[in-house]
Amino acid sequence: NAGVTQTPKFQVLKTGQSMTLQCAQDMNHEYMSWYRQDPGMGLRLIHYSVGAGITDQGEVPNGYNVSRSTTEDFPLRLLSAAPSQTSVYFCASRLGLTNEKLFFGSGTQLSVL
Amino acid sequence: GEDVEQSLFLSVREGDSSVINCTYTDSSSTYLYWYKQEPGAGLQLLTYIFSNMDMKQDQRLTVLLNKKDKHLSLRIADTQTGDSAIYFCAENPTGTASKLTFGTGTRLQVTL
């Protein structure tokens, strides 16, 4: 199984550019989420989804949009990138809505100049 | 809001025991987790403990939970160079089944 796949692994953007970070899982997981990881701040939840067609905001949603049109995919969109969005982004999924473990992708390192 | 705190860095010699500590604020958390992040990779679940337990042992790993002090620790016996990584504790506060709150992470360095 591929698990959770994120693309791209690295990306450099200019301020104001837009882009989409892709996340796909092949485990039929209901729950998917996006985190950002910054030095000294751990992981912070951006957006999450509890099933196709359902999304909700996490701790730091501003500047990001998500959609969940299929169970497998959960893309994260930056409409107008800012330097404050320079970070490492992780997608994570789990089977249900309770307390099973999260499966993480390998991350996308994003730099906004 | 919930806050999970960890020290940022720990250095131990190969063969010694490592103890990574974590404090959390939400006493209603039903599960507490330890995740490991190796360089350039995502997080992987190491172990977890139910809030009604004081201790859980899994091979070289021992998790201790002190609910009164809201303190969680991870002990790694016979630490190996392959244990070098960042370790995150996380809690799942009641009422937020869809969200995990992660600590800041502790970087474990294992020296020869």
Per-residue pLDDT of A14-47, as tens digits, reads 999 999 999 999 999 999 999 999 987 889 999 9
Percent share of chain A, pLDDT over 70: 96
Tens-digit pLDDT profile for residues B15-54: 999 999 999 887 777 788 999 999 888 899 999 898 889 9
- The pairing of beta strand A108-112 with beta strand A10-13: parallel
| Alpha-carbon torsion angle B26, A30, A87, A84, nearest 10 | -80
What's the DSSP call for residue A21?
E
B104 chain-A contacts, CB cut-off 8 A? 40-42
Indicate the residue of A45, A48, A104 with minimum beta-carbon distance to B42: A104
Q: Please check the confidence at residue B96 and state whether its pLDDT lies above 70.
A: no
Residue B13's pLDDT is what?
97
d(CA B56, CA A62): 39
Arithmetic mean of pLDDT, B44-73:
92
pLDDT of residue A100: 66
> Is beta strand A103-104 parallel, antiparallel or unpaired with respect to A42-51?
unpaired
Q: Please, are residues B20 and B67 in contact by the beta-carbon 8 Å criterion?
A: no
From A91-100, B4-13, B53-62, B99-108, the region with the lowest mean pLDDT: A91-100
**Chain A residues inside the 8 Å CB shell of B87:** none
A17 vs chain B: nearest CA distance in angstroms?
A: 25
Q: Which residues contact A50 (CB under 8 A, 6 or more apart)?
A: A30, A31, A56, A97, B98
Provide the mean pLDDT of chain B: 89
- Contact assignment for A43 to B97 by CB distance below 8 Å: no
Among positive and negative, which fits the CA dihedral A37, B22, B31, B88? Answer: positive
